[in-house]
Structure 1
Amino acid sequence: MNATPEQTDAAIAGENEAYIAGVAAQLNDFLAEKHQLLAEISPATLVLIDSIKTLVTGGKRMRALLCYWGWRGAGGAADSTSIIAAGAALELFQAAALIHDDIIDRSDTRRGGPSVHKQFSTLHADQGWALDAERFGHAAAILTGDLCLSLSEEMFARVDQGSNPRARAVFNLMRTEVMAGQYLDILEEVAGPSKPHNTAVARASAIIRFKSAKYSSEHPLVLGGALAGAQESLLAGYSAFALPLGEAFQLRDDVLGVFGDPVQTGKPAGDDLREGKRTVLVGLTIDAAAEAEKEFVDKNLGRQDLTDAEVARLCAIMVESGALASTEAMIADLSETAFAALDTLPIEDFVSVALSALGRGAVSRTS
């Protein structure tokens, strides 16, 4: 007898819950090992591992779950220790990226609390240490992010990859592309205003793809499939679904970075505007706005001292120029492309339902 939709949803929720619990336990055990190691080096270094543990506790686990369902779609068993280790490695990689990203973006908040570099700056100030608290915070956070990146690699080395090198190639490519995408992002912030405005959207779209979309959805899903020994045709189908999904996910993130509710996003209103992010939303605004408004955006984007009134005007320009509506239309088009590709994948129905739920949650989220 076929399962009802309610039974399917319950089964998926049960697998999600069990997998997330497994990843959390793996992370706890692994970081406890590292805590002991750092304690032997010096108790003063324990703050490094504690910062990482705080960051990997909780969160949506979207990348890990995509990896899991990529694995399940390719025939992987639900209770595999390897796919749990792979999910833990992705969570550690995500944490490393967030630590460094917050330094790059000069963002003092993360998930409603202080970012890692801000935690270290506060520690410096509280202890009354010498020299500059902000510089110490940035330096300590860079080292924490580097440690987290190293731990991600160490965790992935624990994954049983059999004789198939495909998964290792995916993991390596993911890390390289993110770093390249991050550089393109910071380059755009400083060089973007001097480049032709009519190419701003294309440049921002490339940044989205390599900085976020590939590592947020495509690579985790493909990684799971590769670990289960999937054929290249299935991995290509995974990419056809997950890449446009990842791009829609990042466009949603960009909208929330300007228009999101701070209570839900955990970041101040208009934070992306003060950070100077030249997103697709900004590119569309510059393309469509009148000359005076365009100049206002170019002049004020990235100003740390933007007033609430100036943030409100920037937001109004984005709305009145049609840029916000155009971004929402792009999200809808990319989502349609992704879910159309999902419908063609040769996977069991319950895996397709699980991936659909993850995807729709990613592009319609409010935080």
Structure 2
Amino acid sequence: MKKFLLQSFYFIILTASLLELGSRLMMDKTYFYAIDPYKGPSALTDVSIADIYKSSPSSVDYLFIGSSRVAAGINSDQWNSIHREDNITINAGRGFFSGGSHYLALSNLLDNYPDYLKGAKVYLELPGGVIYAENFDDHLYDYYPSMSHLVLPHVSFSNFRELVARQNTLSDKANITLLYFSSFYRTFPFFKEYKGRFIDRLVKSRIQTQPKSDLANAGGIKVNSSELSQAKERALRMTEDRIKYQDEQEILTLDQLNNSIVAHLATLIRENGGEMILFEMPLHSSFQKVNQTSWARENSKVFKSWVDQEGIRIIDTSEFDISDDDFPDYWHMSITKRAEFTSFMAQRDTSDHAPSPNY
């Protein structure tokens, strides 16, 4: 019996080691490419092996950051065709990606490439009048519980220790630790998120009559037609919850915004040679309701005062022609509107822009 248990133990250790080694050799490059919006398209459709092995650019001309709405709303290639074909434009819009994660990602890039933002224009979405108003010290390491793995590419070991310390429960600490150190363990959330894309790609390779989605396949956006109704239901539930949540909240203050994530983002960008520009993000009417309450309007006024205080530009998109029909899943604008919105935004990028130092 003792010999059997010992053999079983060795077998488990050997199997686990082989799985871990296999994951590191076969999955890590693809994994860290697919989940890093600053490096890849956050999607695995039409991505080549060469794309996965590309290094991050040492500097950018234009950088778009925010949620998956940004991924849906801006076409980087089209943006470059309007400006300069040799521009480096990164669309880092990503669903389930917190403001703190964007800050960590930029800080990490600047550690490796000090000129990353030199002369760059950084466009940050403004959905409904306020963005990333959470306290920097308290919420820098926040992430969406079901998508905790998204923070991994942007956390150094010193950051990691702080990240673990911020976890509330032992299970949360264990989960984030395993994600950070075990390649095999972190493949599970990866496959969970991308299994629909793998299946779609396999099906479309066999059946060419599949209906084409009118959503951009980027930023973690789910383009499977069967998931649209679920996305719409989630949107309606979320808007109801957010309106109820407002009843318990105080109005923002300038002091709070001075210590917010958006304030630290603005400082990080400015001190490294870039300019942060806010742009109003078109929204489906269900989301607009959240921003039309008296509480939301008062917060928008305070946020606008802070923006004026900081000398940050806001691009007004109220003239952009869009309707609810242009949001197939209620969350994201369609590919057709994406092209129109990219052109609309590019027309408002009127100031001169110096080429990147790497030209």
> Which one has more relative contact order, counting CA pairs under 8 Å at least 6 apart?
2
- State the TM-score, normalizing by the size of structure 2: 0.25
Choose between structure 1 and 2: higher helix proportion: 1
- State the TM-score, normalizing by the size of structure 1: 0.25
Choose between structure 1 and 2: higher strand proportion: 2
